[in-house]
Amino acid sequence: MEDTLSITENRLLVIDDQQELCEFIAEVARRLGFESLAVTEPDSFRRAYLDFNPTVIVLDLQMAGSDGIELLRYLGGQGAKAQVLVVSGMDHRVLSTADQVGRSQGLKMLGGLQKPIMLSDLEAVLRKTMKQGSVITAGDLEQALARNELQVYYQPKARRTTDNRWLIEGVEALARWKHPKRGFIPPPQFIQIAENSGLIRQLTERVVELSMRQIARWHAENLPLSIAINLSPRLLNDRSFPDMAESAAQSHGINPKHIIFEVTESAAMSDPETTMDVLTRLRVKNFGLSIDDFGTGYSSLKHLYLMPFSELKIDISFVRDVCHTNEARVMVEAMVMLAHKLGLTSCAEGVETPEILEFLAKSECDRVQGYLIGKPVPGNELPGIVQLWNNSQSTTVAV
């Protein structure tokens, strides 16, 4: 039977006057396959609701100039069909009462989540709301690869200088599929089908080829960026992959030191013996290696120090909370210190606010990425973003 996967038709609208939390919820939804829109001004909510036609709404109860109960009444008056989740820093009794108010307005309520919102709780609620739409198959993905529908977007990564400025010196390559009729298909969906169908090697080769072609172009334009590429767990069992990567770099005249392969913590530990073989060969060939989403898996520290990583990437679930909880601050500081003690570079993902960036500078984190630095964009848009950001950090820095 051919592998199939449904394209979800899900649109999430989040309204919260805490911008960093608003963007966080929207980003979590995007990763799950939602099209999402974040609104921080209650006055903009009504227009956004009418224009965006969301299937799910995440609603803060306490906002300056308005409150969630007023908006629940508005949604009830509109006959809203969207499912509604209320969030608040108030106690569970208030959340429960707000849920009942929404139900009395004829709304499809999802209950409430108390702030600070746990990533796992938010994901669990959103997964339950997802609707299934038209079906795509492995054949569709195979045709997309043949027709060059797969693109690569690039998200900037910034490096901390000795005087605590942050300069963009690299990017992460992210696969994007723009279907000619269905538009952009969320990465979690087509990557999953690539994994299940055995097309992941072909997909990765496509990303590697496009990325190295792009980085060669940047280098020719005197933009010496490095590039990080995600590796599937399946490729960690493919002993021929290091040779393919080396061949691709040579064909484009790229020094492997400018290429970093990112591996999730859980994937690296699924078959340590074979993984160590593949990762060591990549390091011998001078590619960089990053352990991604660190802190969310179940690896032992023994396996961590035995694997030849060059970078430790701290998961967004820790980074986003450093301005809200002492526990998150302690964890991030400890992971930065662990990386340095092991001779690794530390990198924090999910940096959305200047306050988080300032904390990471004080913690001596080496690299950062997130929407504050820049969103994923096509390769031709990246040089302007690099110039604008780096000039904002120092007018004397030449890119």
pLDDT of res. 170: 97
- What's the average model confidence in pLDDT over 16-29? 89
Kindly state the percentage of the chain with pLDDT values over 90: 55
Query: How many CB atoms neighbour CB 321 within 10 A?
Result: 23
- What's the average model confidence in pLDDT over 208-225? 95
Cα 151 → chain centroid: 17
Cβ-based neighbours of 21, under 8 Å, separated by 6 or more: 115, 117
Lowest mean pLDDT among 46-50, 138-142, 160-164: 46-50
Give the pair of three-digit tokens for residue 214.
């792009």
More confident residue, 61 or 5: 61
Residue 45 has pLDDT above 80, yes or no: yes
Lowest mean pLDDT among 90-104, 219-233, 296-310: 296-310
3-state secondary structure the chain: CCCEEEEECCEEEEECCCHHHHHHHHHHHHHHCCEEEEECCHHHHHHHHHHHCCCEEEEECEECCEEHHHHHHHHHHCCCCCEEEEEECCCHHHHHHHHHHHHHCCCEEEEEEECCCCHHHHHHHHHHHCCEEEEEEHHHHHHHHHCCCEEEEEEEEEEECCCCCEEEEEEEEEEEEEECCCEEECHHHHHHHHHHHCCHHHHHHHHHHHHHHHHHHHHHCCCCCEEEEECCHHHHHCCCHHHHHHHHHHHCCCCHHHEEEEEEHHHHCCCHHHHHHHHHHHHHCCCEEEEEEECCCCCCHHHHHHCCCCEEEECHHHHCCCCCCHHHHHHHHHHHHHHHHCCCEEEEECCCCHHHHHHHHHCCCCEEECCCCCCCEEHHHHHHHHHHHHHHHCCCCCC
Residue 296 has pLDDT above 70, yes or no: no
Tell me which residue has tokens 């601050």. 329
Residue 213 has pLDDT above 60, yes or no: yes
Residue 383 has pLDDT above 70, yes or no: yes
pLDDT of res. 179: 82
- Using alpha carbons, select from 153, 261, 155, 250 the residue that is nearest to residue 210: 153
Give the pair of three-digit tokens for residue 64.
């300056």
* Amino acid, res. 188: P
pLDDT digit string (tens) for 286-295?
999 998 877 6
Kindly state the percentage of the chain with pLDDT values over 70: 92
Longest dimension (CA), the chain: 65
Residue ranges of domains in the chain: 4-130, 138-393
- What's the average model confidence in pLDDT over 26-30? 89
- Which CATH number is correct for 4-130, 2.40.480.10, 1.20.1250.20, 3.40.50.2300, 3.30.565.10? 3.40.50.2300
**C-alpha–C-alpha distance, residues 308 and 99, integer Å:** 50
Residue 3 has pLDDT above 80, yes or no: no
pLDDT of res. 299: 53
**C-alpha–C-alpha distance, residues 300 and 78, integer Å:** 53
pLDDT digit string (tens) for 337-359?
999 999 999 999 989 889 999 99
**pTM given for the model:** 0.71
Confidence of residue 259 (pLDDT cuts 50, 70, 90): very high
Contact 120, 96 (CB under 8 A): no
More confident residue, 264 or 201: 201
pLDDT of res. 307: 85
- Which CATH number is correct for 138-393, 3.40.50.150, 3.40.50.2300, 3.20.20.450, 3.40.50.2000? 3.20.20.450
Q: Are strands 35-39 and 345-349 parallel, antiparallel or unpaired?
A: unpaired
Cβ-based neighbours of 396, under 8 Å, separated by 6 or more: none
Rounded to the nearest 5°, which phi and psi values hold at 379?
Answer: -60, -35
**C-alpha–C-alpha distance, residues 165 and 219, integer Å:** 23
Cβ-based neighbours of 335, under 8 Å, separated by 6 or more: 294, 295, 312, 314, 318, 346
Residue 116 has pLDDT above 50, yes or no: yes
For 210, 283, 397, the CA distances from 289, given in Å and listed in that order, are 19, 7, 28
**Range from 230-234, 242-246, 371-375 that averages highest in pLDDT:** 242-246
Give the pair of three-digit tokens for residue 155.
């998200």
Peptide bond preceding 116: is omega within 30 degrees of 0, i.e. cis?
A: yes
pLDDT digit string (tens) for 165-184?
999 999 999 999 988 877 77
- The mean predicted confidence, pLDDT, of the chain is 88
- What's the average model confidence in pLDDT over 233-242? 89
- What's the average model confidence in pLDDT over 153-159? 96
Q: Which residues pair with 367 in a beta bridge?
A: 159, 347
Confidence of residue 396 (pLDDT cuts 50, 70, 90): very low
- What's the average model confidence in pLDDT over 302-314? 84
pLDDT of res. 125: 92
